[in-house]
Amino acid sequence: MRPQRTKIKVLIVDDSAIVRKILTETISAEPDMEVIGTAPDPYIAREKIISLHPDVLTLDIEMPRMDGLTFLKKLMLYHPMPVVVISSLNSSSCDSSIDALRWGAVDALAKPGGPYSVGDLRTAIPAKLRAAAIAKIRKPHLASAVESSTRPITQNGSGKVGVIAIGASTGGTEAIREILQRLSLGLPGIVITQHIPPVFSGAFAKRLNDLCAIEVKEARDGDEVREGTALVAPGNFHMLVRRSAGSYYVQVQTGPQVCYQRPSVDVMFASVAEAAGAKALGVLLTGMGSDGAQGLLRMKLAGAQTIAQDEDSCVVYGMPREAVKLGAACQVLPLSEIASVLSVGGIAPAMRRVDHEVELR
């Protein structure tokens, strides 16, 4: 007989009895997961973490006695573990949820309501919990904009790249922050697809804009992809890059999910391959699943330079691994080196290196 796989043990922390019920039913329906307890506030959660030893915690932000962000900071200091934030869509909760990712939460989801339905949650939460269960938990990195600007990285002025495209999922908000915070003005326009819920994407872009030298904003349909600016795909919308009259702009549109995602990295990368070809540079960062792998391959086949984040620096080595398996990555680099490559406009074809013995064709 095959040994039975151990189920992922989940502790739900939320002050709403209705939300606890919805999450319990959703998670318990998965054959590889079990809810081992619930808690209406962080004080009870603390005792249950000690006694029940969960693998993953779901955490609300707005709770009585102690808010979720304060609890997360204490948890990551004294008992680091995978946490998925499940929060409401109001402005303060979205800002706090993005801050929670900075303090070590693996991912964030919106509670049912508004543009986010119970059905959406039942589709998304199992995947998020599976990713969290295998994620590498890292200490929060809280570098400020002042710190990053004291050591600017400058571009070499090669001007060969017209569009930089970055895709990410689990762990990607901090990976993207680390890259963008090290970039200086004068770089080609950047487009970013991060798997993120509606409304949260706006808070994410605003936070990056506050931290980075370059301008970062949530994309709107028709926005130009211009030097010194990064456009973030809005949650629940695909973002495509188009070319017209010598310039690049984005289309923001709805459509079916691709690789179970909207926005999809594959959709963005494929559009960049068509619009910019060899004048593009694609970067696929940490994340669960395979979204972006096929799109990165299309970029490479169109002559673009392509980078996949390496396994050691990924929170979840899923999407980059699939790209490496396909031979889609011209380079496989640690996160700490990617900003330098972007800053010099990529590496000339003769100097490109490929790790893990991925053959260039």
Q: Are residues 126 and 105 in the same domain?
A: yes
Q: What CATH number does the domain containing 166 carry?
A: 3.40.50.180
In a domain, 229, yes or no: yes
Given 89, 104, 134, the domain boundary residue is 134
Q: Are residues 130 and 65 in the same domain?
A: yes
In a domain, 3, yes or no: no
Q: Are residues 174 and 114 in the same domain?
A: no
Q: Are residues 225 and 346 in the same domain?
A: yes
Helix (H, G, I), strand (E, B), or coil: what is residue 326?
A: helix
The answer to whether 70 touches 103, Cβ cutoff 8 Å, is no
pLDDT at residue 90 in the model: 72
Determine phi and psi for 24, rounding to 5 degrees. -60, -45
In a domain, 163, yes or no: yes
Domain encompassing residue 149: 145-351
Q: What CATH number does the domain containing 63 carry?
A: 3.40.50.2300
The answer to whether 342 touches 133, Cβ cutoff 8 Å, is no
In a domain, 240, yes or no: yes
Q: Taken in order 329, 347, 215, 69, is the CA torsion positive or negative? A: positive
Q: How far apart are CA 152 and CA 149, in angstroms?
A: 5
Given 134, 167, 202, the domain boundary residue is 134
Fill in the amino acid letter for 209: N
Query: Given the DSSP bridges, would you call strands 247-253 and 238-244 parallel, antiparallel or unpaired?
Result: antiparallel
Q: Are residues 31 and 79 in the same domain?
A: yes
Given 67, 102, 134, the domain boundary residue is 134
Q: Are residues 19 and 61 in the same domain?
A: yes
Q: Are residues 331 and 193 in the same domain?
A: yes
Q: Are residues 242 and 124 in the same domain?
A: no
In a domain, 171, yes or no: yes
The answer to whether 284 touches 268, Cβ cutoff 8 Å, is no
In a domain, 139, yes or no: no
Q: Are residues 162 and 116 in the same domain?
A: no
**Positions marked active-site:** 169, 195, 291
Q: Please give the biggest Cα pair distance in the chain.
A: 65
Q: Are residues 98 and 233 in the same domain?
A: no
Helix (H) or strand (E) holding 8: strand 8-13
Q: Are residues 217 and 122 in the same domain?
A: no
pLDDT at residue 111 in the model: 81
User: What angle do the packed helices 200-211 and 91-102 form, to 10 degrees?
Assistant: 60
Domain count within the chain: 2
In a domain, 111, yes or no: yes
Tens-binned pLDDT, residue by residue, of the chain (361 aa): 445 568 999 999 999 999 899 899 999 999 999 999 999 999 999 999 999 999 999 999 999 889 999 999 999 999 999 999 998 877 677 889 999 999 999 999 888 665 555 566 777 899 999 999 999 997 665 544 333 332 333 333 444 789 999 999 999 999 999 999 999 888 999 999 999 988 899 999 999 999 999 999 999 999 999 999 999 999 999 999 999 998 999 999 999 999 999 999 999 999 999 999 999 999 999 999 999 999 999 999 999 999 999 999 999 999 999 999 999 999 999 999 999 899 876 543 333 344 443 333 3
In a domain, 65, yes or no: yes
Q: Are residues 193 and 158 in the same domain?
A: yes
pLDDT at residue 114 in the model: 52
CA dihedral 86, 7, 52, 23 (to 10 degrees): 30
> Which pTM does this prediction carry?
0.88
